[in-house]
Structure 1
Amino acid sequence: MTDQQVVITGMGVVTPNAGSVETFWEANLTGRSGLSLERRMDLSQLPCGWVAGIIPDDVKKSVEDRAGKPGRPWVDMLLHATVDEALRDARVDGPLDRPAGLMWSRVWPGPSGSFPEDYVAYMKNVAARHKTVGSDRRAALQRLRSERSSIDISDLSAFPTELTQRLGTPLITMGLEATCAGGLRAIAEAARLVRTGRVGIAVVAASVSRNTHYVLSQYGQLMALSRWQGPPEQASMPFDRRRSGMVINESAGALVLETAEHARRRGVETAHAVVDGWGIAVDITHVTAPRVDAVERVIRGALRHSATSPDDIDTINAHGTSTRLNDITEARALHRVFGERMKSIDVSAVKSLTGHGSAASGVVESVVAALTLCRGVIPPVVTCTEPDPKCDVKTSLRPVEREVRTVLKNSFGFGGQYASMVFRRPASPRTEPATPAV
């Protein structure tokens, strides 16, 4: 590994089909789905959204046992559980001798998802505080310390403070919101922070749990949710001609980034992946509809930033949401960039088994990209049994074993957020299993 390369040395995940990195990788290779019928609420009046990516009870109990404490919301438990796994995998323990970075994203407000009444209650709380203390910062701080605010109306999280205490070092932290492109954006910002030398390691963490009647109805009105009425495990089918929309999930992912030199000084000689380059763009043309030229621009930006030719990309880890518009837009952009090579480039789509986890998806799917590099296996897309000729991308129903040196990863989000990243196989790849969850 080149000393100043930014490498991933630790990974952690909790998803609808797995509670650790190794079980998640196994699920991807065997096609084990985490999608099931949403039975936690009455959806009889909704025209879609009956299927969701729900963390199973045994995995949820494991997360609660490892990361639960009084007053800690579920999304923060997910953050702690995945970060714990990533730190163990990277062999990082406090106290550290240098500041660390934290780029993170979580559902706000409330532990269960974005109910409109949560926002109303939160804004009323802010207004009452301002009416009492005005703009006096000392008085505002004193009031915050004295009032007992329900976690249901608070946008605050103890997670950064708790991580600082665990690592025994100051954190340079940034809460990132870039919708479904947020995961890759967070990785890019963490890599930038590491490259400047301001921190020794940077932690990337994202969690989401937004399955509520309100959220489902809003996505339903956008005609974005799957209307599939067959077996639930088939509901998310990226690049399949029968696809009818995405399936939303609850999930979390975490990564540890550092330079190869810093890892070596800690005695860590192997890594999961090199974060080689990225492209980022914001387009204000349309709030929800992706554009082919914008997707093409960030892909070319990632290739340029990593000094990588389109001919050097071995496989593509697609955004692949299973919506009619996103999949064909992404596919057309890929054809513009790679041309005739698209006939031979294997494409994977993790959301086929997990559903869509908003900002967490970019982190979770980057774990798959890293394992693809280290293990030399490209996961199948088992739900794409009738490939859409309008997309014309090469997916497989079985794992594809081959040497992989580079992976292109895409993530796009509402609000015109676009991100693409190139991951490269490190000189000393981590081929042994990651540290299992406990």
Structure 2
Amino acid sequence: MTDTVTGAAADALTDALTGEDIVITGMGVVTPIGATVEDFWAANLAGRSGVVAEDRMDLGGLPCGWAAGLIPEDIRKEVAERWGGPDRTWGDTLLHSVVDQALTDAGITGPVGGEAAGLVWSRVWPGPSGSFPQDYAVHFGELGRRYRRIGNEPAAVLENLRSRRLSAEASDHSAFPVELAGRLGVPLIASRVEATCSGGLRSIAEAVRLLRLGRVEVAVVAVSVSRNTQYVLSQYGQLMALSRWKGDPALSSMPFDRRRSGMVINESAGALVLETAGHAARRGAGSHAVVGGWGLAVDTTHITAPQVGMVERVMRTAIAGSGLTPDDIDTVNAHGTSTKLNDITEARALHRVFGERTAELDVCAVKSLTGHGSAASGVVETVAAALTLTRGVVPPVVTCTEPDPACAVKTSLTPVVRPVATVLKNSFGFGGQYASMVFKRPAQPRQAPVR
């Protein structure tokens, strides 16, 4: 349950964070493969992809990035009609949708009680460009008209800014924490985490800190990501990070497959409700998972290339912080981005940690169906990890039909039904961000709803 810090600081952190279990009691998602937890889970088990051709913009000039994990239009419309508003970005709209699901799932329908609640959140979208290409065009069109009208004379520019009302998409303003505080009926201890693709797990770790330090008894983790524009896709394209697959778009993301050629960007959101085990028990709330230990690290070796040693380090830290050994881990919910470098790096680190067990250790990779949702992926994939624990099923990786022998990890084309007591979840990101976390099966896990 410690980060990758050493010496007296590590001892102090360990002492401060010991205490009762922290459990996940509520979950919510909006993803390309489902806008409810049950629909998302059913799609995972069925191998139903949400990766489609990106036809909302002209990508003819790009050598890659023509496929994306997109929230279907009917779901987008339904979410926007229920949770949208003139001062809400699409990112905030998604946050409200998934948090409502998670609170409802946790049985929190009114004030939570206590002096405060926790909120750790992130909303990722490409600056003033909004969720759609037309937002990006409008923003730069406004900049062009302003320049032709007043140039760069400082006083005129300042006066223009004073008189102009920026849209929510352009201003990065968000009333989400205030609105959530009103719904929960208590002040929030809120922090916004920006940690690229490791941000989801880092947000969970920050929420657990608040709970274990006794600052709050309930904490909400919420992340939404929507970043599909020509500009963002061209940036990832220049990094040679996007899939160059030219066949069926549903096969564009193929983690640990020898044909993999890059990641697929998606739009998605996820939310979790975390509580101390005692608080959940007093409410009579069931648990999806117990949060074990975690490992976090930032490495400055390379801004985009993951390092095997750092991946190994955070996994070992997460396992040791859970009071476990590598032999106690039943399955791995991989970062699995489908890039040449990430998958082989993660696989090599798995071999270092688990040795000969790697050949028999079931590995799932949710991004094979959804694409990569940056910080949201850590939360969305934690939902899959929790359901793996309570349902006893490891989701398949249906796009890995030609496993890369250089990776040599065990994926399956069909769901693997087996008892699962522990899941190791990985998330890594640009900027040298690394995160790994262990989740454990609760003593009395939540039962699947009757469908």
| Distance across 2 between alignment mates of 1:221 and 1:93 | 47
Root mean square deviation of aligned Cα: 2.3
Which of 302, 327, 336 does residue 318 from structure 2 map onto?
A: 302
Which of the numbers 229, 236, 243 marks the counterpart of 2:246?
229
Equivalent of residue 256 in structure 1, options 264, 268, 273: 273
Aligned partner letter, 1:369: A
Instruction: Find the aligned partners of 1:191 and 1:356 in 2 and give their Cα distance.
Output: 25
Residue 132 of structure 1 deviates from its aligned partner by 7.1
Alignment of 1:288-437 (within 5 A): 288-433=304-449
Kindly tell me: are residues 260 and 128 of structure 1, through their superposed partners in 2, closer, same or farther at Cα, counting changes over 3 Å? farther
What are the Cα deviations for residues 120-157 of structure 1, in whole angstroms up to 9, with x where unaligned? 97xx9xx989x979xxxxxxxxx99x973322321220
List alignment gaps of at least 5 residues for structure 1.
134-142
Q: Could you tell me how far apart the structure 2 residues matched to 1:128 and 1:56 are?
A: 44
| Contact in 2 for aligned 1:376/1:403 (Cα 8 Å) | yes
1:238-257 equivalences under 5 Å are 238-257=255-274
Cα distance in 2, alignment partners of residues 432 and 234 from structure 1: 30
1:266 paired to 2:291: no
Q: Whole-Å Cα distance in 2 between the matches of residues 149 and 60 of structure 1?
A: 24
Give the TM-score of the pair, scaled to structure 2. Answer: 0.89
Q: Is the 8 Å Cα contact of residues 103 and 205 (structure 1) preserved in structure 2?
A: yes
Distance across 2 between alignment mates of 1:128 and 1:305 = 54
Query: Residue 101 of structure 1: SS of its match in structure 2?
Result: strand
User: What's the TM-score once normalised by structure 1's chain length?
Assistant: 0.91
Q: Offset at 1:236?
A: 0.1
- The Cα of 1:107 is off from its aligned counterpart by 1.8
Please tell me whether residue 71 in structure 1 is matched to residue 83 in structure 2: no
Counterparts of 2:359 and 2:273, CA distance in 1: 34
Q: Secondary structure at the match of 1:106?
A: strand
| CA deviation string 1:402-423 (max 9, x = no partner) | 0000000000000000000000
**After superposition, what is the alpha-carbon deviation per residue over 1:76-133, rounded to whole angstroms, capped at 9, x for unaligned?**
1100000000000001122222211000011243432796996997xx9xx989x979
| Residues 1:161 and 1:350: Cα distance change in structure 2 (over 3 Å) | same
One-letter identity of the residue aligned with 2:199: G
Query: Which residue matches 2:215?
Result: 198
Residue 192 of structure 1 and its aligned partner are, at CA, apart by 1.0
Counterpart selection for 1:112 from 122, 126, 131: 131
Instruction: Indicate the percent of aligned positions where both proteins have the same amino acid.
Output: 68
Is 1:32 matched with 2:48? Answer: yes
Partner of 2:6: none
Which range moved further: 322-331 or 93-102?
Answer: 93-102
Shift of 1:308: 1.0
State which drifts further: 103-112 or 275-284.
103-112
Partner of 1:85: 101
State how many pairs are aligned: 418
Taking the aligned partners of 1:251 and 1:401, their CA distance within structure 2 comes to: 27
Tell me, yes or no, if the aligned pair for 1:385 and 1:397 is still in contact at 8 Å.
Answer: yes
Q: Distance in 1 between matches of 2:43 and 2:138?
A: 37
**Stretches of structure 2 lacking an aligned partner (at least 5 in a row):** 1-17, 148-152
Give yes or no for the alignment of 1:59 onto 2:66: no
Segments ≥4 residues shifted beyond 3 Å: 113-121
**Counterparts of residues 124-273 of structure 1 (less than 5 Å):** 148-268=165-285, 270-273=286-289
Contact kept, 8 Å, 2:19 with 2:212, in 1: the verdict is no
Deviation track 1:349-408 (CA, whole Å, cap 9, x = no partner) reads 000000000000000000000000000000000000000000000000000000000000
